[in-house]
Structures are given as structure tokens and as C-alpha cells.
Chains A and B, each alone.
Chain A
Amino acid sequence: MSILETSPLTGEAGSQRVRERRQAPVLLLILGSVTAAVALVPLVYLIVRVWGAGIDRIIDVLWRARTAETIGTSIALVVVVTGLCLVIGIPTAWLVSRTNIPLRKTWVVLLALPLAVPSYVAAYAWIAQFPWFSGFWAAVTVLVLVSTPYIVLPTAAAFRSADPALEEVARSLGRSPLRAFLGATMPQAWPAAAAGALLVALYTLSDFGAVALFRVDAFTRVIYASYRGSFDRVGAAVLALLLVALAALLVLAERRTRGARRRWRSASGTQRQAVVVPLTGPLRVLSICWLTALTILALGVPIGSLINLMTRARAVNIDVNTLLTAALTSGWVSFMGAILAVLLALPVGIIAARYRSRSVHTIETLSYTGHALPGVVVGLSLVFFTLSVVPVAYQTVFTLAFAYAVLFLPKSIGATRSSTATVSPILEQTARTLGRGPLTAWAATTARLSAPGIAAGGLLVLLTAMKELPATLMLRPTGWDTLATEMWSRTEIAAYGEAAPYAIALIAIAALPAWLLSRAMTATEPVAMSANR
């Protein structure tokens, strides 16, 4: 996708216009507004519910000591996990991008693989192996291990694509190698690391599986518990809204760094490879030990634990029928969610790729609401919504598919937008001059050429939805079980061996989204990234 460069001096990029400045067709704007409205349902209804409870009840909930504790725990978790990911991720990124470490490409793959392990699967694998492993620091450990790739991959890509001439100039201006690196190369990589850090923060804040399994009273677990146990609806709703507010702050911050990253592209001249730092002797051994340790913790422990469980579970007798039923159920609901997401994304993606105006921008931004909504929040809000507004939809497959569509709409819009933008509008205009109407011209050119990209976006939604946990737990019809919920209910009763086949199936499902994500994060061109939750 071509990115518009906007110069602050001239305002608009003159000749490079890709998007038309004229207003989008009214029909597309209306359809796009429908999408935005749908995306807003969970958030708006949550606000309505909280507001309806009355200011006294709200203050009452906010004043509870437990609320302050929850906020404190969540913020501490986010800060510690993000900080540790940066401390571990940046030097690791440097090792695999700027040194002569052996098997460099293999290390990059190994460092990306933890993306394919959903946090609750990783947490389950640790607990099954080490039953004493629990609490805040256990959650920190697992979250750091599964989300370090969000820092390593983009930072390593930034180190690789950093213009080596800058570091050379710094050297010739009297800086030592270390100070030249810090003064010239690190500022080029910092926006990528910062964007990754914000994704880690968002991922940690929205995570339900790891904090619930390790019994950490962060927002998601408290919200789920108060919905589940006491049916304290106002309390849950107020906390959910607080959680959304925090997540929204992170999303806004991430958008800003993305804007900054765009402007970081250096001139388009001959790009030379960065100078490779030779590691020798003890430093080389130490570096290899470091990467090996990271790999063992992030991959070795979960995989080893699962293999261990599987071999022991032979005696337990795996129920293949239940496994297949769960897989089919997951697939079927997620498929409906993906279809819904693609249909909703179509008008928004098209106008975002082709037109520039305030209304287009507003529709696009609002449609991305799901990006800032943790699954627990969408689940809770839709439970309220179906119960009091459309009781027939309560705990139906449709509501669950709807939740998936709202949660993962951003992925689908992103795919539609970028694949539409790669098709030159000239093709569609030429088809018009050859006698086709607007719709047939679109169908014959842009639609046909962008279809593979849009379908890939749909597949991404499908696979991501199949491993979604909290919203599925809250919204699934009674008696329906998906892979994620089957695994979850077995883990809750400490039937770890029986949960293992489900865990392996979930890792297999997560592999493709993880691969796509790692590709996006290692691209030299900045692209929109979203946490692989």
C-alpha cells in the first residue's frame, strides 16, 4: 500500500495522490455508518447501563477499596510486563539484527513462534507442569514470554532498515561506536519499539486467560467473577467501562506512534546493509546462551509440558468425539463471525482506501472500536444487551458471531482497505468509460483484484475467533462448547491431561495468524498492527 506523505510545508502531497478528495458515494457512506453503528453497540450499551444505574451507584462502586486494588493490580501488571518486554526485547532485537550471531534467521523464527501460543494455553502449560506456579509474578512471566515478540520483531526490522549512513556520520563527527549507535540508530528504532510496547500493554490489559488461571485480580478477572458469581451487574459494568477507558488511552497512544513512524522513512536512495558487529569469545557464547534461555522458557516449557501431558493422558483416554464436536462448533461460529466481519468491513475498507474526508475518517475510526474493547467487555455488554433489549438473542449462536465480528472487525477492515488500495482507481475508471455502471465496474476490476486480500482478512478473523476465550465463555449457548471453552472447563477442574489435545489444537489454529502478524511486524514499511488476542 502506498502511504501518502504529507509535508507540513505544502500541506498535501501533490502529485502522489492515491485517494480521491471528492466525497464518497452516499450509499457507501450509509453502509459504512451502519458498520460504525454496529461496532459501537457494545460500548454504547455499556455506557447506557452504567449511566442508568445512577450516579450514586457508580460512586459507590468506584469508592470500594477493591476497585482501587483492581486498578492498581492491572496498572502494575501492564507497567511491569511492558517494561520487562522492552528490557528483554530491545537487546534481543539488536542481537538478531546487527551482530554476526550464528543461525540468525532461525533465531528470528524461534523468537516469533511464541505468538502462536494463546496466553491461556501458555499459562495452562506452566501450571500443569509446575502446580505451585501462581500469582502476580507468574502472570508477569507468562505474559512477558508470549508478548516479547511484539517488541523484538518490529525493533529488529527497524535496526535492519535503519540508514547506516547516519551512524557513520555520527562516527565521523566524533562519537564512539556505542554513542553513535545510541545517538543515531536507536532513535530510528525507538518508534518501532514504542509501538510494540503499546501493543504489549494493550494485550496485557485485555488478557483474561493468564490472569484468571494465575488468580491475579486484574480488571478482566474481577469483571468476569462479579458477572459470574454475584451477578453484581453495576459493579461489573463500571469496571468494564474503566477498563475500556484505559485501553482507549493505549490505542490512541499507539496511533500517535504509528503516525510518527511513517515520517521516519529516510530518503529513497541506495540502501546499504547495516554494519554487522562481530561478537567473539565469551560475548558470543553469552549471547547464544541468552537466546537459548529465552527460547526454552517461551517455547520449550509450554511444548514440553504439552508433550508430557499427552503421553501421560494416553491412559486418560482422549474423547475424540468431543474434540471433533468442539472443533466443528468453534469453526462454525467463527465462520459466521468472519462472514459478518467481512460484510461489515467492505464499505468501510473501500471508502477508507479511496476517499479522504472528515466523515470517512470518522466512520473508519469508530469502526475500529473493537480494537480497544477487551473480550470480557464485549461479552458482558452483549449479555446485558440481549437480556434486556432482544431476549430472543440471549445466548444464541448469532450473538456470539456478532461479538466476534465486533471484536475482530479491525482486522477485516485493514485487509479490505490495504487490498483495495493496491488496485489503482484508474482501472475502475477505465471500466466506467468502457460502458460499465459503478457497481459492475467495481465488480469487474477492484473487487476481483482485491478479493484474495479480503478473503485472507476473513480467514484471519475466523482463526482468531476460534481461540477467543472470555466473550465465548459468557455468550455461548448453553450446552455449546468450543475448543477454547472445552479446554478452559477442564483446566478449571485441574483435569490437565484431558485439556492437552485442545491446547494443541488451539496452537495449531493460532499458527497462521501468528505467522501473518510476524510478517507484518518485520515489514520495513510500517503497517497497522493489532495484538493477536
Chain B
Amino acid sequence: MTAVRIHGIDASYGSHVVLHDLSLDIASGSLTAVLGASGSGKTTLLRALAGFIRPTSGEIYFGDRLVVGPHTWVPPEKRRVGIVPQEGALFPHLSVAGNIAFGIARDEDRKQRVGYLLDLVGLAGLADARPMELSGGQQQRVALARALAPEPDVVLLDEPFTALDANLRGRLRAEVREVLAHVGTTAVLVTHDQEEALSTADAVAVMRDGQVVQVAAPRDLYLAPADLSVARFVGDVVELAVLAEAPGNQVNTSIGWLRTDPDTRASLNGTDVVVIRPEQLTLTDPTGDDTAALVIAREFHGHDSMITLELEGGATLPIRVAGAQTPETGTKVGVRVDGDARRFR
């Protein structure tokens, strides 16, 4: 079932067009990440969903309910959306409980609901704390509880983890995911961090120049990007020029013949390349049949290492290996490709 249907919306700030004929369907109960570089229009899309800006054309449906259309405009307070802004934006003049209760109608049993939400986000006992007494992670959890309090149809998360340190970010992501799954609310996560999008979301919509260029499950997005620019955006790539091709999807490159999958995709600039991910390359024994190479640089990260190989003929190749198996600079190795390459032209 579709919880949010966005159909052909345009939005602009003055003469600057930010969203252009954008369409996107978001499945009910899913966590969908909207992934884009800064300036891609992802925040504008979120603001259009929340009702903070008005698209100049197109429609937005929440379920069967039309909220934006040629003659329809539902203001934010009637949309039933919850928002978790960047850095929380908690009301500094209210306690944690006051913040969470802000959107709950007076006649409801506020106290019980606030208690339930505090438990849900793991902050029981902090009801009377002031926002400024909380750590960044705690503030984001309160912001999430506040957004969930009126039982919204959709929760919008605007880069909620960006301001946190790396360690906390990963933990909070998992917690937020768990909370959202528990209440079963449809959620949209706006982020510029591909790792965050791939690890947190059920589906990822990649935005570029005010349009959605691809919507896919994280794994499909990573393995089968729609074009070269998406491929580069969602992870590290090894790009190899196509030297020759043969029937059966075989192409010749500087590391020998590779097999590609049957699809070819746009490279956007007319070049003809095949792309593999660095982890598809494996180091092998230099005496075997695999392409011979020389380790010329290495960058040790602990859990893994990026090493640079020089092939015969001078081409270089980045490759990721497990940290414990990092070879010394100057080692002669062989290199093998696992799995299919993707062709873009």
C-alpha cells in the first residue's frame, strides 16, 4: 500500500527551480531514505511534504487524502505529519515532558502517553529535564518522541543524525529504526550520507537536480545503480575503460576480460566504462593466471586497508582488503575480479 504519493511536483525559490516534475511513491510502514548531495532539493521535498512550502504544481496524496493539488492546500497543522528537524529544535522553554505533550490534545490522557513515549525512546526518568541539559543524542530522541506523540501518518526526519559524533550516530540510527518499526509509522529520512541511507532505510530514493533518479532497495541500489553518477554517489567505484568487447557480455579492460551484466546504463558524459566495486577485487598468488600487479601504496584503516596496485602498462587500481591481510608496499601480487561488472556508456 502506498502511504505517500508524490506526483509531478515543481517547487522554486523565486526564479531558482528546486524541484522539477518530481514523482515518488512511499510504501506504507516503510522507512524511505531520500539521498542527495547538498543542493539536490531533498530538504525542499521534505518541506513540501510537511507543508512549509507550497509546490507550484503537482499533487501529493497521503493515503487517499489529497493534501497538495491545483486547488488544494492542507496547512501543516492539518496534515498529520511529524517532523524531526536537524539538531532537534526542541522548545527551549519547555521541559522534556512539555515538549512531548505539545502536540497531544488536552482531553487525551497526556501524562500516560508522554510516559509511554519516554519509555519507547529510552528516556524514562528525564521527563522534567530541560532540553539544554540533554546530550545531542538525547535531544534527538525527545524530538522523535515529540513527533510521534500525536500519532502522525508520516514522520519526516531531516538529517537528524548529522550533528552527532560517529559512534553515537550508528547506535541512534539503529534505535530510531527500531522505534519506527515498533510503532509502524511510515517514515521519510532525508540525508546526504550514503552509508546512513543504505544501512537504515528499507528503500532509498536518490535525488539529483530536483528529481528522483532512482528508487530501490539499498542492496539493489548499490549493486545496480541507474547511472554512473549514482554509482559514484552510493559507494567507491573502480572505473575501467572498455578496450574491446566480445559476444556474451565480455569486455576487455586493463585487468583483462570481464563479464558484465546484460544491462547497459547511462554514463552521462559519453564515455564507455565498466565499473566494479573495490571489494570485488581479490589479491591472489602472483604466480597464478590472474593479472599481475605491484603494490605501490597502502592506507591502513584497521578493519580494512585501501591499497593501490600498479598494473603492467602503468594503470593504477584501488583495492580494499581485510586489515590483517595488508601486503607491504612493493609486494608482487595477482588480482582477480569476483562477480559481474556494470557497463555504462
Binds A, one of B16-24, B77-85, B273-281: B77-85
Q: Indicate whether A357 reaches chain B with its CB closer than 8 angstroms.
A: no
> What residues of A have a CB within 8 angstroms of the CB of B146 in the complex?
169, 173
On whether the beta carbons of A187 and B91 are closer than 8 Å, the reply is yes
- A275 CA / B83 CA spacing, docked (Å): 17
> What residues of B have a CB within 8 angstroms of the CB of A172 in the complex?
50-51, 76-77, 79, 81-83, 103, 147, 152
Q: Indicate whether A9 reaches chain B with its CB closer than 8 angstroms.
A: yes
- A8 CA / B89 CA spacing, docked (Å): 20
- A170 CA / B149 CA spacing, docked (Å): 12
Q: Indicate whether B93 reaches chain A with its CB closer than 8 angstroms.
A: yes
Give chain A interface residues in 1-44, CB to chain B under 8 Å: 7-9
On whether the beta carbons of B91 and A184 are closer than 8 Å, the reply is yes
Give chain B interface residues in 88-127, CB to chain A under 8 Å: 88-89, 91-93, 102-103, 105
On whether the beta carbons of A169 and B77 are closer than 8 Å, the reply is no
On whether the beta carbons of A174 and B150 are closer than 8 Å, the reply is yes
CB-based nearest A residue for B134: A9
> What residues of A have a CB within 8 angstroms of the CB of B75 in the complex?
171, 177
Q: Indicate whether A433 reaches chain B with its CB closer than 8 angstroms.
A: no
- A184 CA / B94 CA spacing, docked (Å): 10
Q: How many residues of chain A get a CB closer than 8 Å to chain B's CBs? A: 28
On whether the beta carbons of A169 and B89 are closer than 8 Å, the reply is yes
On whether the beta carbons of B77 and A263 are closer than 8 Å, the reply is no
On whether the beta carbons of B150 and A165 are closer than 8 Å, the reply is no
On whether the beta carbons of A267 and B50 are closer than 8 Å, the reply is no
- A518 CA / B174 CA spacing, docked (Å): 49
> What residues of B have a CB within 8 angstroms of the CB of A7 in the complex?
132-133
A-B contact count (CB 8 A): 81
Q: Indicate whether B315 reaches chain A with its CB closer than 8 angstroms.
A: no
Give chain B interface residues in 39-68, CB to chain A under 8 Å: 50-52
On whether the beta carbons of A168 and B86 are closer than 8 Å, the reply is no
> What residues of A have a CB within 8 angstroms of the CB of B133 in the complex?
7-9
Q: Indicate whether B163 reaches chain A with its CB closer than 8 angstroms.
A: yes
> What residues of A have a CB within 8 angstroms of the CB of B103 in the complex?
172-174
Q: Indicate whether B202 reaches chain A with its CB closer than 8 angstroms.
A: no
On whether the beta carbons of B92 and A168 are closer than 8 Å, the reply is no
Q: Indicate whether A270 reaches chain B with its CB closer than 8 angstroms.
A: yes
CB-based nearest B residue for A184: B91
Q: Indicate whether A269 reaches chain B with its CB closer than 8 angstroms.
A: yes
Q: Indicate whether B236 reaches chain A with its CB closer than 8 angstroms.
A: no
Q: Indicate whether B87 reaches chain A with its CB closer than 8 angstroms.
A: yes
Give chain A interface residues in 501-521, CB to chain B under 8 Å: none
On whether the beta carbons of A169 and B83 are closer than 8 Å, the reply is yes
- A187 CA / B99 CA spacing, docked (Å): 13
On whether the beta carbons of A264 and B92 are closer than 8 Å, the reply is yes
On whether the beta carbons of A269 and B132 are closer than 8 Å, the reply is no
Known contacts: A266-B92, A270-B86. The answer to whether A168 contacts B102 by CB under 8 A is no
Interface pairs A-B: 6 shortest CB-CB: A173-B103, A165-B89, A171-B76, A267-B87, A187-B93, A165-B85
A-B residue pairs in contact (CB < 8 Å), sample of 10? A8-B130, A168-B76, A169-B83, A169-B85, A171-B75, A173-B77, A174-B103, A183-B102, A266-B92, A269-B87
Chain B: residues with CB nearer than 8 A to chain A?
50-52, 75-79, 81-83, 85-89, 91-93, 102-103, 105, 130, 132-133, 139, 146-147, 149-150, 152, 163
5 further A-B pairs in the complex, CB-CB below 8 A; given A172-B77, A269-B86: A166-B91, A169-B146, A172-B83, A174-B150, A267-B139
